[in-house]
Amino acid sequence: MSNVIFTYNHEAALTAGQGGFINESGAYVLTITEAALTTSSGGAKAIEFSGESDDGRKVQYLSVYVSKKDGSENTFGVNMVHAIMGCAGVKQLTNQMKAAGQFVAPEFAGKKVGLVLQKVLRSKNDGSDTYGLEIRLPFVAQTRQTLLEKAEGKNAEAVDRMVSGLKDKDERKKGSASGSSAGYQDYPQHDDGFTPF
């Protein structure tokens, strides 16, 4: 008599050697580990999400900008935060000091949310390649519905439709490695003056 200790899991096998991080475009169900409140060197404010998928892969630095450098509201980002709140079941956000000069929105911690992420290829200041992930569409983790589909009583179709046509976005600089790449000069730094809402 033998005691089975493993049954082959193809999906788990494919993630072996991937470094433990989400690194491809796709739809993921995440448990949010932190929602940091950040301000770029230029003054734009963002909520920067970190999370972990059910298979243990992590994602960090998912920034949603809620205000522009001039302090005006970034409507796209504000709407995205509201959609993430709705999908995660969060009714309001507060800012709480985590450490000196570091603030978080604690209401997101531990909440499950589905996110369609798009890989964005970029160039570093030295000309070498790097990448980041951007949130394209939040969805309800349990049903895979967007908030609109849920509100209208429709089946979950938008996520699969978006993922089927999703390609990596290439923002790498062609040719010259001089200058700084889009976004890197304004990479968010934690700041104590965050009040977007």
pLDDT in tens, the chain (197 residues): 677 877 787 776 766 655 689 999 999 999 999 999 999 999 999 999 999 998 899 999 999 999 999 999 999 999 999 999 999 999 999 999 999 889 999 999 999 999 999 999 999 888 889 999 999 999 999 999 999 999 999 999 999 999 999 999 999 987 544 443 333 333 333 333 444 44
Give pTM, 2 decimals: 0.78
Place of tokens 């209208």: 152
Place of tokens 């072996």: 16
- Measure CA 126 to chain center: 25
Q: Region of 110 please: left (phi>0), alpha (psi -120 to 50) or beta.
A: left
| 107 three-state secondary structure | helix
Distance CA 170, CA 181 (A): 12
Q: CA dist 41 to 54, 69, 86, Å?
A: 34, 9, 30
Amino acid (1-letter code) at residue 26: G
Element (H, E) at 151: helix 147-151
| 60 three-state secondary structure | strand
